[in-house]
Amino acid sequence: MKTAPRAQDVAALAKVSQSAVSRTFTPGASVSEETRRKVLAAAKMLGYRPNALARSLITRRSRIVALVMSYLDNQFYPLVIEQLSQRLQKAGYHVLMFIAEVDEEADGVLAEILDYQVDGIIMASANLSPRLANSCADLGVPVVQFNRVMEQRGRGRSKISSVTSANESGGRMAARLLVERGYRRIALIAGLENASTSIERERGFTDELAVLEMRLWNREVGHYDFHRAQEATQRLFAGDERPDGLFVANDHMAIAALDMLRQELNLKVPEDVGVIGFDDVPQAAWGAYRLTTVRQDLEPMIDATVALLCQQMTGELRPADIVVPCALVERATVRQRPPSTA
């Protein structure tokens, strides 16, 4: 094995001081054009690169956090990438992207992730099997599930952390709003059947309907996908007796439903149908939609994720589950209905 060339090798070859080599490779540092040219020529000849990864072998820190995601078409996730990247960057870490297959466990990319010697792992819109999640913890690599929780398959508590919205209580808010506003034939479009966000939002929604002595009129699955959510909407409204209220498990699908209802089915929202989404992505506020929705409060979610991860990367591995409250955002797709004539 050939030893990597060192700064002193470059200095010797270029006939300059070692500090001149260091300054050449420090952006912004002062060095004469002549010296710089000599150093670069010597570095090129030797194949030298500054600040070798050796540093992370000494400190045993790569300052890399893996971010595993399975799909980005939901407009919630670009914000997550941007804000996580920014916040971790300030804390001295950078985000390494791993794209997993939608709707499958991300176990396949784990070997690759560990190969990069990451200091921590954030799983967002992706699931890791409990067994592998726990073996990361065993290796001293903290894992935070962002916006997902892991199913507990028995065997006590998981060794990994999670940061989520209060999805169940958000689902309850949606049900209460529709019922209070006078909607009576209430339908739902679920997301992915195995995603905790969808499961919890639906559970809260139907539980609250039961409390209010209502039953779910109808239900379809949109798989958190734009096109499939439009098909789900079509199926829900195909019969003679149509729903008059609709809860959609995220805004991405709710916007798809609004387009289908208005443009294809020629229904008026909120006059013929009330629609409520979940997330409050920026697009929900766009003038053509003005979607009433349940807001996931991204900033505290990001804060908690970065705090949890940093604490565990530098200190004790003590997993925690943090739940951030949701809030109702009323815009123009749900309104008070006239008293029923039934």
Binding site for a second copy (CB under 8 A): 1, 4, 25-28, 40, 43-44, 47, 49-58, 60, 62-64, 67, 71-73, 75, 77-79, 81-82, 85-86, 89, 94-99, 107, 110-112, 114-117, 132, 135, 138-140, 226, 255, 258-260, 262-264, 282-283, 286-289
DSSP annotation of 160: S
* Nearest distance from C-beta of residue 136 to a second copy, angstroms: 10
Nearer to a second copy (CB atom), residue 27 or residue 338? 27
Nearer to a second copy (CB atom), residue 144 or residue 255? 255
The first and second tokens of residue 259, run together, are: 């387009």
* Nearest distance from C-beta of residue 310 to a second copy, angstroms: 17
* Nearest distance from C-beta of residue 132 to a second copy, angstroms: 6
The residues pairing with 124 across neighbouring beta strands, listed in sequence order, are 146
Nearer to a second copy (CB atom), residue 18 or residue 169? 18
d(CA 270, CA 335): 6
Contact 129, 74 (CB under 8 A): no
The first and second tokens of residue 96, run together, are: 């390494």
Nearer to a second copy (CB atom), residue 59 or residue 340? 59
Nearest to 176 by CA among 326, 10, 31, 75: 326
* Nearest distance from C-beta of residue 63 to a second copy, angstroms: 8
Nearest to 188 by CA among 170, 167, 171, 213: 171
Q: Vertex 291, ends 217 and 336: CA angle to 5°?
A: 60
Nearer to a second copy (CB atom), residue 40 or residue 328? 40
The first and second tokens of residue 187, run together, are: 């339908």
Nearer to a second copy (CB atom), residue 204 or residue 270? 270
d(CA 40, CA 63): 27
* Nearest distance from C-beta of residue 144 to a second copy, angstroms: 17
Contact 192, 103 (CB under 8 A): yes
* Nearest distance from C-beta of residue 324 to a second copy, angstroms: 22
d(CA 180, CA 203): 19
For the stretch 108-112, contacts whose Cβ atoms lie closer than 8 Å and that sit 24 or more positions apart, written own/partner, are 109/68, 110/136
Nearer to a second copy (CB atom), residue 64 or residue 232? 64
* Nearest distance from C-beta of residue 259 to a second copy, angstroms: 3
* Nearest distance from C-beta of residue 175 to a second copy, angstroms: 26
Nearer to a second copy (CB atom), residue 207 or residue 272? 272
